[in-house]
């Protein structure tokens, strides 16, 4: 008797960690129907491109991914989803996508595949309450995965298109988050990364402003959870209680990623960010007063309308003074329908890109200094991925990238290590037996 041929799928994910979660959710549904994942579009019967719309560059990458998949495999079916699919589905169809799926409809992906319609996009902008019913289980043997506890955003920063595409802020109840985390732990996950579109607003839709530290405490106490990490958290959510909760639990990673966006109060006001440079300083100083091994990253936008050379210098000086561990830098990209498109005193793209290059240079220097401070220290890493050379790679608890000789460890193994040397890319460590 012939064995039925299993359908093959390849998923390309662009953008934020929430998209990474959503892609795993789609794969979970497809695996339940017998699909197997392939490393490239070349072997796939179905290609899913999970797009991003946070910048114009991100949108271009989504369209390019569709075209690249079809060049590799002209017979494959391409489904485009994500925020670009919400904002401009016609552009994705023009690039070659067979069908378009909205963010809200991702959880009914299998039903969508059986429909005749080429586009399915619901009213995500009016969504209220939590609707994601998919459980991530199995996970293909992954030791580190995401737990989505929040979606949407109601903050309306002047540059941001996300509220238009993801809807109002919505939070997964703590009880349900714990239930999902238990499933992940039972599947062998060693590190859970708590994520959301605007994680700092977790619980705001219940009028609960202290829900995030409550969630962290409850998750940290789950039996069998080795490591708990947070994705990006808005500065307005980082209270003293929040930091004390993180510092009090050994399995909560000492890692903060904060979307500063600017180190200038004048620019922050134009962005409608609702915090000040003084508050940013206080967060970092309070955290380091509680423990000395934090990794602290920051997002920064350059060339925002009205950002003067003096404002940019204030940002550089703040990041240097606070010894931020690494930066994610984005030149300003005007998004349709956002308030920032109407602001005066625009900065040229050339100047915005020049400032971004300066901050990327600074980021490499800051990361190098952060890594140098780790030399001689001991820590713990989960070997997550194999490289082409002689190392296995993973993240330390403070998010530093660690390289371990591959002849000493196996992928998925939890390793205690001592750092022997470092550069701006990695901590080079040896296992402690």
Hey, where are the domains in the chain? 8-124, 139-372, 378-431
The domain defined by 139-372 carries CATH number 1.10.10.10:
no
Q: Which helix (H) or strand (E) holds 433?
A: none
Q: Which pLDDT does position 181 carry in this prediction?
A: 95
Please determine whether the domains at 8-124 and 378-431 fall in the same fold group of CATH: no
Cα Dmax for the chain? 75
Handedness of CA 327, 202, 271, 63 (dihedral sign): positive
Query: Which one, of 39, 29, 225, 46, lies nearest residue 136 by Cα?
Result: 29
pTM: 0.89
Contact 202, 150 (CB under 8 A): yes
Q: Which pLDDT does position 213 carry in this prediction?
A: 96
Contact 327, 366 (CB under 8 A): yes
User: What 3-state DSSP class applies to 294?
Assistant: coil
For residue 37, give Cα distances in angstroms to 6, 108, 207: 10, 19, 41
Other CB atoms within 10 A of residue 135 CB: 12
Say which DSSP state 387 is in. -
How many secondary structure helices (H) and strands (E) does the chain include? 13, 19
Question: What CATH superfamily classification does 8-124 receive?
Answer: Methylthiotransferase, N-terminal domain (3.40.50.12160)
The domain defined by 378-431 carries CATH number 2.40.50.140:
yes
- How far apart CA 217 and CA 214 sit, in angstroms, is 5
Burial 329-358, CB ≥16 within 10 A → b, else e? bbbbbebeebebeebeebbeeebbeebbee
- How far apart CA 156 and CA 164 sit, in angstroms, is 9
Q: Which pLDDT does position 127 carry in this prediction?
A: 40
Q: Which pLDDT does position 128 carry in this prediction?
A: 45
Q: Which pLDDT does position 343 carry in this prediction?
A: 97
Query: Which one, of 175, 168, 218, 219, lies nearest residue 197 by Cα?
Result: 168
Q: List beta partners, residue 148.
A: 195
Q: Which pLDDT does position 347 carry in this prediction?
A: 98
Instruction: Kindly write down the DSSP assignment for every residue of 15-63, as one continuous string.
Output: SSHHHHHHHHHHHHHHHHTT-EE-SSGGG-SEEEEEE--SSHHHHHHHH
User: Pairing relation of β-strands 391-395 and 401-405?
Assistant: antiparallel
- How far apart CA 324 and CA 284 sit, in angstroms, is 9
User: What 3-state DSSP class applies to 150?
Assistant: strand
pLDDT tens-digit profile, the chain (433 residues):
344 567 999 999 999 888 888 898 899 889 988 999 999 999 999 999 999 999 999 999 999 999 999 999 999 999 999 999 999 999 999 999 999 988 878 888 888 888 766 666 654 333 445 555 555 544 555 788 899 999 999 999 999 999 998 889 999 999 999 999 999 999 889 999 999 999 999 999 999 989 999 999 999 999 999 999 999 999 999 999 999 999 999 999 999 999 999 999 999 999 999 999 999 999 999 999 999 999 999 999 999 999 999 999 999 999 999 999 999 999 999 999 999 999 999 999 999 999 999 999 999 999 999 999 999 999 999 988 776 678 989 999 999 999 999 887 777 788 999 999 999 999 999 999 7
Q: What are phi and psi of 93, to 5 degrees?
A: -65, -40
- How far apart CA 296 and CA 256 sit, in angstroms, is 5
């Amino acid at each position: 008797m012939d064995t039925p041929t299993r359908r093959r799928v390849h998923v390309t994910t662009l953008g934020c960690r929430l998209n990474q979660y959503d892609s795993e959710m789609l794969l979970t549904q497809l695996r339940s129907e017998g699909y197997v994942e392939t490393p490239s579009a070349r072997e796939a019967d179905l290609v899913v491109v999970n797009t991003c719309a946070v910048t114009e560059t991100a949108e271009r990458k989504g369209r390019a991914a569709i075209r690249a998949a079809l060049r590799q495999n002209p017979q494959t079916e391409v489904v485009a989803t994500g925020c670009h699919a919400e904002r401009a589905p016609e552009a994705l169809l023009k690039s070659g996508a067979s069908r378009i799926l909205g963010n809200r409809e991702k959880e009914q992906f299998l039903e969508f595949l059986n429909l005749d319609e080429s586009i399915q996009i619901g009213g995500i902008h009016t969504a209220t309450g939590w609707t994601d019913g998919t459980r991530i289980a199995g996970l293909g043997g992954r030791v580190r995965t995401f737990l989505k506890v929040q979606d949407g955003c109601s903050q309306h920063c002047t540059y941001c298109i996300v509220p238009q595409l993801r809807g109002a802020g919505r939070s997964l109840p703590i009880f349900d988050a714990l239930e999902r985390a238990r499933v992940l732990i039972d599947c062998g996950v060693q590190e859970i990364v708590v994520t959301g579109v605007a994680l700092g607003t977790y619980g705001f839709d219940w009028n609960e402003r202290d829900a995030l530290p409550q969630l962290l405490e409850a998750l940290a106490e789950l039996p069998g959870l080795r490591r708990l990490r947070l994705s990006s958290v808005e500065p307005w959510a980082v209270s003293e209680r929040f930091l004390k909760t993180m510092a009090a639990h050994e399995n909560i990673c000492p890692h903060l990623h904060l979307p500063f966006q600017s180190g200038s109060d004048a620019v922050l006001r134009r962005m409608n960010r609702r915090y000040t440079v003084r508050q940013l300083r206080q967060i970092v100083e309070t955290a380091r007063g509680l423990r000395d091994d934090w990794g602290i990253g920051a997002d920064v936008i350059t060339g925002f309308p009205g950002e003067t050379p003096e404002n940019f210098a204030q940002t550089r000086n703040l990041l240097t003074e606070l010894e931020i561990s690494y930066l994610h830098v984005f030149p300003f990209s005007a998004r349709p329908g956002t308030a920032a498109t109407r602001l005066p005193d625009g900065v040229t793209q050339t100047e915005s890109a020049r400032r971004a290059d300066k901050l990327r240079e600074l980021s490499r220097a800051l990361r190098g200094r952060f890594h140098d401070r780790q030399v001689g220290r001991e820590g713990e890493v989960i070997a997550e991925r194999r490289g082409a050379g002689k190392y296995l790679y993973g993240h330390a608890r403070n998010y530093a990238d660690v390289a371990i000789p591959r002849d000493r460890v196996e992928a998925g193994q939890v390793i205690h290590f001592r750092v022997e040397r470092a550069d701006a890319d990695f901590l080079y460590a040896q296992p402690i037996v």
